Every structure is written in C-alpha cells, then in structure tokens.
Amino acid sequence: MSTSASRSTPARRGRPRAVNDRSDVRAAAVALFAERGYRATGVREIADALGIGATSIYTHIKTKSELLHEILIDTLDALIAVQKDAIESTPDVVEQLRRGAEGQVRYVVEHPQEAMISFREFRSAEGDALTAVLERRRRYRNAFEDLITEGCRQGRMKVSDAKIAAFTIIGMAESVPRWFRPGREVSINRLAYLHGEYALRIAGVYNVGLLPDQSAT
C-alpha cells in the first residue's frame, strides 16, 4: 500500500448524503439540541451528523440561533393550536381543561425532541425571537389559567391560585419526553387520560363534588 493512501483524510462522522433542503439541517439540529443541548452543539456537529462540511450548512441557514428560533416558535405555535382545538371542541369548561391537558401530553409524546427543546432551551433565544417565544408561552399558560378561573367562577373548580394551577398542569407534560417510551410503562392513550384526570384534580374539580371518579376505557 502506498504512503499517500495510508494518509487519507479521516472519514466524517455520520452518513454522507445529499443535503438538498433546509429541513435536513433542521432535523439534524433538532436531534442534537435535544440530545446534547443547544449551547453544547456547534454548527460543525450538525454538519458532521449530515456528513457534509461545516461551511455547507450556511447554504441553508444564516446562524445556529436562527434554527433554534424556528424550532421554538414552530413548536409553541403547534402547542397553542392543539390547545385551541381542545377548547373549541366543547362548551363545557371542565371538558375543555381535560382535553387541553390530554392534547398537550399527546403532542409532547408525538414530538418529544421538539418538546424538550421548547421546554429546556427557550431562554437561549435572543432579541425579538425571545420576545416572541415568551409571548407564546404566556399565551399558552394564560389559556389554562383562564379556563381554571372560569371554572371557579362557575363553581365547578376550586383553587386558591389559578396561575399556579396552570403552571402545574403544564409542568406535568414538560417531564414526559425525558422518561416516556411507547409500549413500556403505559400506553399513550392511558397517559393522556391520566394527565387529563390529574389536571382536573389540580383544578379542584373533584373537591367540589361535581364529577365522579372515572376509569379509562
């Protein structure tokens, strides 16, 4: 074997392939941000995962932060849409809260990497993007808070602080992507049902004696 052949350039990590779309870069970034964290992931790591040179990444994006901002805002918009659909699906405030809680946990199970980034990395956003992210997070929390406030007004819920109750309901879902694995401890349907039930208990629905205990079907 010749000396020149033995000094060949080391192969890049990842599987070399054509990167023809921004979505390829985004998908690689989502996986790495979720696994390693945003700040611990550089553009070179994203390029290595795609099997391309680091400079080639800039054909598709301007900065790493641009990718983060896009992931955060798209994920929050999707969560808001799921929540809105749940609320609009019934006029009953108790069912609105139940379905909203069920919907959020189904979303984070179906999109665990994006959910982890949204919950964990939102403070890494910068400038106008951070303002947009925080506004969406407030809007999402306020919708749960408003449901609980209305439920209390109707005498169907009972809490001392609707904001804390809303934070708690959202917080239940935030940990799910870290531990949930389909087909193991519990099914997705059962998990969603339980989160709906726990949300009602946090909101004090059962404390006012208006709903009997139910079992998942």
d(CA 37, CA 19): 23
Check whether residue 87 and residue 21 sit in a common domain. no
Which pLDDT band, with edges at 50, 70 and 90, does 20 fall under? low
CA-closest candidate to residue 149, choices 214, 204, 197, 71: 204
Check whether residue 22 and residue 90 sit in a common domain. no
The CATH number linked to 94 is 1.10.357.10
d(CA 23, CA 166): 34
pLDDT of residue 13 exceeding 80, the answer is no
Residue 213 within a domain: no
pLDDT of residue 32 exceeding 90, the answer is yes
Task: Tell me which of 31-40, 58-67, 70-79 is least confident.
Answer: 58-67
Residue 86 within a domain: yes
d(CA 122, CA 147): 25
pLDDT of residue 160 exceeding 90, the answer is yes
Residue span of the structural domain in which 155 resides:
64-208
Residue 157 CA from chain centroid, whole number: 27
Check whether residue 136 and residue 197 sit in a common domain. yes
Residue 76 within a domain: yes
| pTM confidence score | 0.83
Residue 3 within a domain: no
pLDDT of residue 146 exceeding 60, the answer is yes
CA-closest candidate to residue 122, choices 171, 75, 62, 178: 75
> How many domains is the chain partitioned into structurally?
2
Check whether residue 51 and residue 85 sit in a common domain. no
Read off the pLDDT of each residue in 151-175 and give the average, rounded to a whole number. 96
- Side-chain half-sphere exposure of 98, counting CA atoms within 13 A: 20
Check whether residue 182 and residue 130 sit in a common domain. yes
Residue 82 within a domain: yes
Residue 40 within a domain: yes
Check whether residue 44 and residue 80 sit in a common domain. no
Check whether residue 83 and residue 176 sit in a common domain. yes
Spatial neighbors of 140 by CB under 8 A, at least 6 apart, are: 76, 79, 80, 83, 170
183 burial type by CB count under 10 A (0-12 exposed, 13-18 middle, 19+ buried): exposed
